[in-house]
Chain A
Amino acid sequence: DQQVKQNSPSLSVQEGRISILNCDYTNSMFDYFLWYKKYPAEGPTFLISISSIKDKNEDGRFTVFLNKSAKHLSLHIVPSQPGDSAVYFCAARRRYGGSQGNLIFGKGTKLSVKP
């Protein structure tokens, strides 16, 4: 079963507007969450992360929100730029138990920002 879910395979946004990418998780043992961006033929690039002890983290145009009670996080990109067009992956870490430290990824959301 998939522990990290990105239910929207794609999202199209106009340049300058806000992009909101969503991610749901099922495992309450996850304690750290990350967003990665991936261009074709490249490895994922780290964007922003958030610890489970916080509910918001901001870095420039990127903000991640965490709602632990809903097991939901979202990535906001404001303003969106054409160069943001890529596949965005949500990932989670389980601190304790087996496989400590490895990340569990969602399937990704393809963002297209139109000029």
Chain B
Amino acid sequence: DTGVSQDPRHKITKRGQNVTFRCDPISEHNRLYWYRQTLGQGPEFLTYFQNEAQLEKSRLLSDRFSAERPKGSFSTLEIQRTEQGDSAMYLCASGFDTFMGNEQFFGPGTRLTVL
């Protein structure tokens, strides 16, 4: 396994369009996380899954954002009716969450530009 992969790496879209990003986690990890990073900030948590269950989604930025993880494998993050403020780097991470640790391993990210 080569690590967490994300597709596409870059996405340019026009305001009002829908976009979907894909994340393939490290296969043995049971948790998958989505973060957003804007310029000059650290990654900001959006949502996460344990296997196929979405355990936290209150941090999704608006109801235009949704995520799925069918069958507990890859995940998708969709943004509907994109706005210019959605322009950011969208990061996916996977890992285990145990009592003693929570290392999360990040993918390369998808850079979204909304024109």
Contact = CB atoms under 8 A, between A and B. Distances in A.
Interface of A: 4, 32, 34, 36, 41-46, 49, 51, 89, 91, 93, 95, 98-108
A89 B42 contact: yes
Interface of B: 4, 6, 31, 33, 40-45, 48, 55-56, 58-59, 91, 93, 97, 99-109, 111
B102 A93 contact: yes
Given A32-B101, A44-B91, 4 more contacts: A4-B42, A42-B108, A43-B108, A103-B33
Contacts of B41: 107-108
Given A103-B43, A108-B42, A46 B97 contact: no
Contacts, number: 71
Contacts of B33: 101-103
Nearest to B4: A43
Q: Which 8 A-B pairs have the closest CB atoms?
A: A105-B42, A43-B106, A102-B45, A101-B97, A93-B102, A44-B106, A43-B108, A43-B109
Given A44-B91, A98-B56, A108-B42, A32 B108 contact: no
A105 B40 CA distance: 12
Nearest to A45: B106
Name which of A42, A44, A95 has the most chain B CB atoms within 10 A of its CB.
A44
Contacts of A101: 31, 33, 48, 97, 102
B103 A46 contact: yes
A49 to B, nearest CB: 6
Contacts of A99: 45, 56, 58-59
Contacts of A4: 42
Nearest to A108: B42
B107 to A, nearest CB: 5
